[in-house]
Structure 1
Amino acid sequence: MTDPLTTHRLFYDAVESGDVDLMASLWVDDPGTSCVHPGSVPLRGTSQVLRSWTVLMANVGYIQFFLTDVDVVTLPRGADGPDTAVVVCTENILSGEGLDAAAEGFSGGRAVCTSILVKAGGSWKFWSRHASPIAEMMLEDD
């Protein structure tokens, strides 16, 4: 995982496929890591964060993310180049329940997400992630 956007995309691959091992490989193992799911309180520490993703992935029949407005900024530090990256994107989410989501119906939503990745052992890994739902505003015609 030589660049932050590859790690970022692998995160969504892990969620979509329910790959708990891949998800675990993408996070720094540290009590200072954090994750805020939409509408939730902050989770601290890698074990709490990974537990939350394991539960989420086990309880979603189908989920797919279409990312837009992806922006990455690296923060240089030291002679070895950047060691921190901030990725902001819009998640356009399609989800469904059960094994046959197409027959049971899909639902969708949007969230804005900020992820902080750090270089750890030569690889980019998640340090923090915060997602917040985007309120869809309906404008009435006059």
Structure 2
Amino acid sequence: EAAFYDALQSGDIDKLMACWGDEDDIVCVHPGGGRLVGPAAIRSTFDTMFSNGTIRAFPEKVRKIDAMSASVHNVLERIEVLTEEGPRHAYVIATNVYHETAQGWRLVAHHASPGTSSEMHEVSETPPVLH
């Protein structure tokens, strides 16, 4: 995960794609966007994003669920956007799914949704009834 966010911040498409699995059915959903399936579609969108500059995304408040050869991370991302008035922050809620492969842990799904600064204050109290 550190390598994924480092690649975002440095705008390095090769490092970013090295974080992803090789399967044809890997999935990425950007905030407000459609479902991208496969390495070529994912690479294309990140190439477009990087052509507009680097993405200053800082993962915060990571929650992990690990099971055998899979790991699911829910991340609150703080995105730094540079404006004429100085840096502004946007927030994204992301879920990153990793599979352990012969080459190490690889990202197989990244699903991001728009968030707000209030997301930075977690509600972690367990409800008495799940459904």
Same fold (TM over 0.5): yes
Of the three residues 127, 136, 140, the one matched with 2:108 is 127
What letter corresponds to residue 16 of structure 1 in structure 2?
A: Q
What letter corresponds to residue 76 of structure 2 in structure 1?
A: T
1:13 alignment partner, SS class? helix
Structure 1 partner of 2:70 = 84
Quote the sequence identity (%): 27
Structure 2 partner of 1:50 = 43
Structure 1 partner of 2:91 = 110
Number of equivalenced pairs: 118
Structure 2 partner of 1:140 = none
2:49 alignment partner, SS class? helix
Report runs of 4+ in structure 1 exceeding 4 Å deviation.
none
What letter corresponds to residue 53 of structure 1 in structure 2?
A: F
TM-score (norm 2): 0.81
Larger radius of gyration: 1
Deviations 1:76-130 (A, max 9, x none): 2xxxxxx11101110011022xxxx6x6632320011001011121400010000
- CA displacement at 1:63 relative to structure 2: 3.4
Structure 1 partner of 2:122 = none
What letter corresponds to residue 84 of structure 1 in structure 2?
A: A
- CA displacement at 1:69 relative to structure 2: 1.4
Instruction: Give structure 1 stretches of 5+ with no counterpart.
Output: 1-7, 77-82, 138-142
